Amino acid sequence: MVIKNIAILFSGSGSNLEAILEKVHGKVFGNVKIVAKLLICNKLGAYGIERAKKFGLTTTIIENKAFSSREEFDVALVKEIEKNEIDLTILAGFMRILTPVFTKNVKAINLHPSILPLFKGAHAIKESFDSDMAVGGVSVHLVSEELDGGRILAQETFQRDGKTFEEWEETIHKIEHEILPKTIINILTNKENNA
């Protein structure tokens, strides 16, 4: 059996972190066992830290405000990831714009709550809801130097159907909790061609 180590980076409540830990961590797919070897959070009081404890996992805190530049922060992230021999890094609600220091050295995927390339950035849910689009959706993409701009690996859409903003947001989160674990499994069991 092959063991594949993942790192999960998060900043907030950690609902996507929990979905990954529930559906992927310690589980075997074919001949591949996926282990969440490293969790990193950049905010001391993030609720995701508590969620991780339910799985017996400790979160490494690397606060971005302790560094004088984005590059210095990214150096610390890269060091921690390399030290742990990680096969794939997942940004699950990690609210940081990463520099080439990170993007050139770490194989990472990101979850984004819109149909990319539309509605990039931090306000994607609100912007997509306020648009004239008949559909909303979720994308998983490779992390590159361009914000929310790496190669798209998976997407799923849903119909507007008169949803309120709350229903729109809820639908996005429901899809996120399915599409991200599925993409991780596909990449690490080589079903995703050369991600």
Residues marked as binding for (6R)-10-formyltetrahydrofolate?
70, 95-98, 110
Please name the helix (run of DSSP H) or strand (run of DSSP E) that holds residue 91, with its range, or none.
strand 88-91
| Residues of the binding site | 14-16, 70, 95-98, 110
Outline where 25-108 has alpha helix (H): 48-53, 70-83, 100-103
Q: What is the dihedral of CA 95, 101, 103, 109, to 10 degrees?
A: -40
Catalytic annotation, pick one of 112, 123, 141, 177: 112
Examine the residue annotation and report whether 112 is marked as an active-site residue of this protein. yes
Entry field: residues in the chain: 195
Relative to beta strand 2-10, strand 27-29 is: unpaired
Active site residues: 112
